[in-house]
């Protein structure tokens, strides 16, 4: 460190004044004892601190520390003994006041005594391992006052009684309470806990048990919860005023247990005011109060969630299975959305956006939406309705919002492929009849579906849009290729060329088109096949529409907007006045069901009956005869004649769609099986089923029986084989 | 032989500056009274004894009163050294001459509880 020479440091014994008076210690103590008595008697201002300190210092210095300490203990005991007599003797109401006053005085005196004996506290006490003056004072107080038999019982009783009085609405002296309770705290945690906290907790439990019993009999759920909440705030407030923080927590626990946890089921299930009522009446305040309170007790939220889930499932089930309510698909979906909105709002405003509640809501919806096998169809119809006409009045953002909501419902669907099937049909109808109101909205939904289900799901839908665009170009080319003179003479023919496979088309035999149209068709066919070799064109006459100019008997001119079939029928009347059903059927070769519907719309709809039927009736029969209704009139120049078509599918159609969906699923299931077996090589039956289900879950829930059939079919075609030993095992044959 | 120290408050507005008298009183033998000026705030901060002295609620806490500290004549030199030290004055004038005087100073520091001096 340093090279400095160390100095030898010698300590010489320090010499005290050796000559002491013989009774030095006795005399000095008398001075101190007198001073202590004066301090107890509130006469401290006359004493000299310097003198007392010096005396105490000298006593300790001269090895009289032991004497000083023990004499001090004796003096304090004497004082406390008197004090306890006095406190015990106080009259009822003033007990706490007196006790508190004595305590304050005692503490002040103790402080002074400690100060003058400071030197002893610092030197003698640690070396002799005795409690310092302050602790000594508190211990003695505890023994003589706080835990003396009479005072202890009386103190506990008084404190608890006051708290109970406050609970029943009386005003008590909180400052006094705080001071006295503070005294117990200062005497040590064990004193506070044993003498006050524990009795208080058990008394409170008793109090709240009784109160909750009483209230639950007479209050409805909402009021009861309000009461419980008020009690909780009261206890918190009480604790902040005069109790230890930990005690406050314990009291809250008592209230939570006695008032909430013990009555949870009863509260939630209460008829007319329980959770179900609150949910139905959108009582956000009550619900959020219930959430807050139940959140404090174990199993509380689970209880709410279970009841809510049960309720949603129950109402949802009624909603989707009630045949009355599923009559109108748009209404049906609207109702689902409303229900979803309602619970979303409840969860966000009353349940603190709790994730577990959102999950419960989602699983409930998933549960009941799939109870009705027609849900996918209805949702698609709802979209159809929205995209078809809604947009004219509605702003774009609103449409987006509606579509987003629909997507939420879509996510709940298990049979997403069924939805796809219907969606394709409806989209095709919209596109072909030009009724799709906004290309943008259509695309937006496709994008949403794509993000939800992947490219594969929407590729065909996108193909439909592409067809629409290329058809426009093709038409331009076709018009350009025709000599202009021809164009004026022949009827206009917009053609949409659709890719087979992308569109939901059934193979259909074309009906006989009127000769004028037929001729244009042939020209287009020649043009198209001339530019694209190796393709095949077939006419989908069931999809088209036509504008006809018609002049009726009294010279009324109208433009009729009709379907291709209706056009074919009406064109027949250019050459003859009366035709029978048979004649029409022969001439047009329209399939019987379509023809009936088409004639019905031409002859039986009031205000649009351009044909007369003989005999007059609602239904079309094979023997009916038709003629032009010469007296037809309408206040519109353009008359749109719709086809009588059920918006919803009829029962056989439904069966058919169902069957097609099932057919479509087969290759998907097979592909999944092959994919899995290719990577696994060997797998047992149950595992295959589980994995296939998992893989296809995003589109539909495959039926295990169908999976089994597919496996068998794959074995037949020698993609797989059964294990020779274990028949349950399958082996992949590469 | 005993010594005393007194202080009185000159102005009641600022009790920080106090005048102290140091006196040696002649009792039955010889008592010398010497008066010194001290600063009660500084002393309170440096010494627990002085802190309690000024705040205990006894006679010395009265700002009007004179503070008397009785000391043995042998303690005189180290006591004043201690006072100087507490006031943060240079101790050059009272340089500690020997180990014995250092001992005495330490004794005073212990008695009046002046941790900064120990």
Residue A484 is predicted with a pLDDT of 67
* CB proximity A98 to B under 8 Å: no
Tell me whether residues A45 and B59 touch, CB distance under 8 A: yes
Q: How far is CA A83 from the centre of its chain?
A: 65
Please provide the size of chain A in residues: 734
- Looking at CA atoms only, how far is residue A2 from chain B in angstroms? 23
- Compare B21 and A705 and report the one with higher pLDDT: A705
Q: Is A122 left (phi over 0), alpha (psi -120 to 50) or beta?
A: alpha
Tell me whether residues A46 and B48 touch, CB distance under 8 A: no
- Compare A235 and A572 and report the one with higher pLDDT: A235
Question: In 3-state terms, chain A is what percent helix, strand and coil (to 5)?
Answer: 65, 5, 30
The pLDDT of A152-161, averaged and rounded, is 91
DSSP letter, residue A610: -
- Compare A20 and A312 and report the one with higher pLDDT: A312
Helix and strand numbers (H, E) in chain A are 31, 9
DSSP 3-state assignment of A503?
A: strand
Q: Which residues of A89-102 are buried (b: 16+ CB within 10 A; e: fewer)?
A: ebeeeebbeebbeb
Q: Which helix (H) or strand (E) holds A562?
A: strand A557-563
Q: Is the ipTM of this complex over 0.85?
A: no
What are the chain B neighbours of A41 within 8 Å (beta carbons)? none
Q: How far is CA A725 from CA A685, A713, A733, in A?
A: 14, 21, 17
- Compare A126 and A598 and report the one with higher pLDDT: A126
What are the chain B neighbours of A49 within 8 Å (beta carbons)? 52-53, 56, 58-61
Name the residue in chain A with its Cα closest to that of B108.
A57
**Partners of A611 in beta bridges:** A628
Instruction: Check whether A17 has a pLDDT greater than 70.
Output: no
User: For residue A649, what pLDDT band results from cuts at 50, 70 and 90?
Assistant: low
Residue A225 near residue A234 (C-beta atoms within 8 A): no
Cα angle A81, A83, A89; round to 5? 110
Sign of CA dihedral A708, A714, A716, A720: negative
Extract the tokens encoding A425.
Answer: 């049909």
Tell me whether residues A50 and B100 touch, CB distance under 8 A: no
Residue A160 is predicted with a pLDDT of 92
Rounded-to-10 torsion of CA A424, A425, A426, A432:
100
The pLDDT of A163-173, averaged and rounded, is 91
- Compare A595 and A305 and report the one with higher pLDDT: A305
Count of C-beta atoms within a 10 Å radius of residue B4: 21
* CB proximity B48 to A under 8 Å: yes
- pLDDT tens string A61-77: 888 999 999 999 999 99
Q: Which helix (H) or strand (E) holds A615?
A: none
Residue A487 is predicted with a pLDDT of 58
Residue A720 near residue A727 (C-beta atoms within 8 A): no
Instruction: Check whether A604 has a pLDDT greater than 70.
Output: yes
Tell me whether residues B56 and A112 touch, CB distance under 8 A: yes
Q: Which residues of A639-656 are buried (b: 16+ CB within 10 A; e: fewer)?
A: bebebeeeeebeeeeeee
Residue A444 is predicted with a pLDDT of 85
Residue B74 is predicted with a pLDDT of 79
Residue A582 is predicted with a pLDDT of 83
DSSP 3-state assignment of B101?
A: helix
Tell me whether residues A10 and B107 touch, CB distance under 8 A: no
CA atoms within 13 A on the CB side of A498: 22
Measured N-to-C along each axis, helices A375-388 and A416-432 cross at an angle, to the nearest 10 degrees, of 30
Residue A394 is predicted with a pLDDT of 63
Give the residue from A598, A596, A599 showing the smallest Cα distance to A612. A599
| pLDDT < 70 stretches in chain B | 1-30, 89-97
User: For residue A489, what pLDDT band results from cuts at 50, 70 and 90?
Assistant: low
φ/ψ of A579, rounded to 5, equals -140, 145
Tell me whether residues B59 and A49 touch, CB distance under 8 A: yes
Q: Return the HEC string of A653-715.
A: HHHHHHHHHHHHHHHHHHHHHHHHHHHHCEEEHHHHHHHHHHHHCCCCCCCHHHHHHHHHHHH
Q: Which residues of A204-228 are buried (b: 16+ CB within 10 A; e: fewer)?
A: bbebbeebbeebbeebbbbebbebb
- Candidates B58, B107, B111; nearest CB to A48: B58
Task: Indicate the average pLDDT of chain A.
Answer: 84
Residue B1 is predicted with a pLDDT of 32
Residue A468 is predicted with a pLDDT of 83
Name residues whose C-beta falls within 8 Å of residue A28's C-beta, 6 or more positions apart in sequence.
A55, A58, A59, A64
* CB proximity B113 to A under 8 Å: yes
Please provide the size of chain B in residues: 118
* CB proximity B62 to A under 8 Å: yes
Q: Are strands A545-551 and A720-722 parallel, antiparallel or unpaired?
A: unpaired
- pLDDT tens string A617-648: 777 777 788 888 777 777 777 777 766 554 45
Residue with tokens 């009726």: A552
User: For residue A507, what pLDDT band results from cuts at 50, 70 and 90?
Assistant: low
The C-alpha atoms of residue A291 and residue A293 are separated, in whole angstroms, by 6
Query: For chain B, how big is the Rg over CA atoms in Å?
Result: 14
- pLDDT tens string A202-252: 999 999 999 999 988 888 888 899 999 999 999 999 999 999 888 999 999
Residue A230 is predicted with a pLDDT of 92
Instruction: Check whether A315 has a pLDDT greater than 50.
Output: yes
Residue A7 is predicted with a pLDDT of 47
Question: For A408-534, where are the E strands, in sequence order?
Answer: none
Interface list for A 109-138 with B (CB within 8 A): 112, 115-116, 118-119, 122
Residue B96 is predicted with a pLDDT of 64
What are the chain A neighbours of B75 within 8 Å (beta carbons)? none
The pLDDT of A154-165, averaged and rounded, is 91
- Candidates A11, A57, A112; nearest CB to B57: A112
Give the residue from A208, A234, A211, A225 showing the smallest Cα distance to A264. A225
- Compare A293 and A478 and report the one with higher pLDDT: A293
Name the residue in chain B with its Cα closest to that of A54.
B70
Residue A80 is predicted with a pLDDT of 93
């Amino acid at each position: 460190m340093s090279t400095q020479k160390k100095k030898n440091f010698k300590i010489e014994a320090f010499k005290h004044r050796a000559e002491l008076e013989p009774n030095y210690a006795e005399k000095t103590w008398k001075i101190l004892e007198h001073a202590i008595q004066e301090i107890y008697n509130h006469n401290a201002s006359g004493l000299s601190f310097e003198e007392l300190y010096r005396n105490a210092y000298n006593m300790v210095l001269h090895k009289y520390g032991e004497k000083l300490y023990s004499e001090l203990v004796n003096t304090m005991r004497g004082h406390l003994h008197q004090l306890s007599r006095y406190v015990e003797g106080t009259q009822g109401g003033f007990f706490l006041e007196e006790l508190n006053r004595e305590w304050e005085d005692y503490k002040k005196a103790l402080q002074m005594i400690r100060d003058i004996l400071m030197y002893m506290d610092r030197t003698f006490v640690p070396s002799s391992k005795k409690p310092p003056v302050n602790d000594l004072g508190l211990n003695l107080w505890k023994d003589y006052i706080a835990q003396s038999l009479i005072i202890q019982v009386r103190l506990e009783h008084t404190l608890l009684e006051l708290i109970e009085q406050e609970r029943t609405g009386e005003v008590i002296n909180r400052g006094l309470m705080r001071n006295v309770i503070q005294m117990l705290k200062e005497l040590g945690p064990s004193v506070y806990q044993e003498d006050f906290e524990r009795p208080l907790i058990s008394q409170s439990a008793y109090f709240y048990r009784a109160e909750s019993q009483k209230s639950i009999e007479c209050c409805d759920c909402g009021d009861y919860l309000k009461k419980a909440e008020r009690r909780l705030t009261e206890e918190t407030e009480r604790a902040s005023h005069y109790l230890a923080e930990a005690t406050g927590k314990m009291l809250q626990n008592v209230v939570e247990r006695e008032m909430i946890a013990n009555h949870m089921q009863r509260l939630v299930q209460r008829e007319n005011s329980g959770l179900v009522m609150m949910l139905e009446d959108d009582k956000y305040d009550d619900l959020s109060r219930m959430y807050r309170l139940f959140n404090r007790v174990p199993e509380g939220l689970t209880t709410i969630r279970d009841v809510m889930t049960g309720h949603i499932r129950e109402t949802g089930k009624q909603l989707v299975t009630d045949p009355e309510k599923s009559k109108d698909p748009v209404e049906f979906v609207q109702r689902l959305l409303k229900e979803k909105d309602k619970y979303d709002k409840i969860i966000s405003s009353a349940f603190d956006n709790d994730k577990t509640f959102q999950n419960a809501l989602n699983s409930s919806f998933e549960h009941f939406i799939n109870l009705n096998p027609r849900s996918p169809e209805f949702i698609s119809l709802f979209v159809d309705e929205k995209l078809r006409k809604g947009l004219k009045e509605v702003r774009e953002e609103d449409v987006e919002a509606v579509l987003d909501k629909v997507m939420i419902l879509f996510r709940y669907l298990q049979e997403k492929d069924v939805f796809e099937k219907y969606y394709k049909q409806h989209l095709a109808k919209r596109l072909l009849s030009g009724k799709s109101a906004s290309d943008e909205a259509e695309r937006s939904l496709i994008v949403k579906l794509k993000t939800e289900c992947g490219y594969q799901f929407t590729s065909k839908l996108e193909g439909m849009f592409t067809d629409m665009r290329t058809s426009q170009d093709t038409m331009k080319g076709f018009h350009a290729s025709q000599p202009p003179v021809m164009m004026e003479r022949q009827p206009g023919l917009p053609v949409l060329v659709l890719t087979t496979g992308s569109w939901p088309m059934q193979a259909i035999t074309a009906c006989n088109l009127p000769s004028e149209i037929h001729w244009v068709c042939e020209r287009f066919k020649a043009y198209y096949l001339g530019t694209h070799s190796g393709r095949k064109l077939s006419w989908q006459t069931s999809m088209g529409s036509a504008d006809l100019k018609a002049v009726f008997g009294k010279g009324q001119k109208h433009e009729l907007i009709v379907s291709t079939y209706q056009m074919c029928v009406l064109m027949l009347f250019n050459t003859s006045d009366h035709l029978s059903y048979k004649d029409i059927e022969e001439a047009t070769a329209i399939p019987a069901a379509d023809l009936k519907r088409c004639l019905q719309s031409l002859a039986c709809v009031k205000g649009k009956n351009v044909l007369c039927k003989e005999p007059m009736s609602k239904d079309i029969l094979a023997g009916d005869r038709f003629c032009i209704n010469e007296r037809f009139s309408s206040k519109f120049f353009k008359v749109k004649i719709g086809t009588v078509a059920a918006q919803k599918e009829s029962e056989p159609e439904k069966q058919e769609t169902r069957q097609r969906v099932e057919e479509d699923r087969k290759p998907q299931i097979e592909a999944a099986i092959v994919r899995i077996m290719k990577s696994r090589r060997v797998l047992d039956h149950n595992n295959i089923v589980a994995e296939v289900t998992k893989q296809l879950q995003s589109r539909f829930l495959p039926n295990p029986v169908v999976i089994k059939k597919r496996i068998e079919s794959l074995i037949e075609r020698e993609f797989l084989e059964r294990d020779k030993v274990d028949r349950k095992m399958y082996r992949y044959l590469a | 032989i005993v010594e005393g120290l007194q202080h009185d408050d000159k102005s009641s507005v600022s009790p920080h500056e106090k005048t102290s008298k140091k006196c040696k009183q002649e009792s039955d033998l010889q008592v010398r009274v010497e008066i010194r000026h001290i600063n009660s705030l500084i002393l309170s901060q440096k010494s627990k004894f002085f802190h309690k002295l000024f705040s205990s609620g006894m006679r010395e806490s009265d700002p009007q009163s004179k503070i008397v500290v009785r000391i043995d004549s042998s303690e005189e030199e180290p006591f004043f050294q201690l006072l100087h030290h507490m006031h943060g004055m240079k101790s050059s004038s009272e340089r500690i001459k020997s180990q014995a005087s250092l001992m005495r100073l330490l004794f005073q520091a212990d008695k009046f509880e002046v941790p900064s001096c120990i």
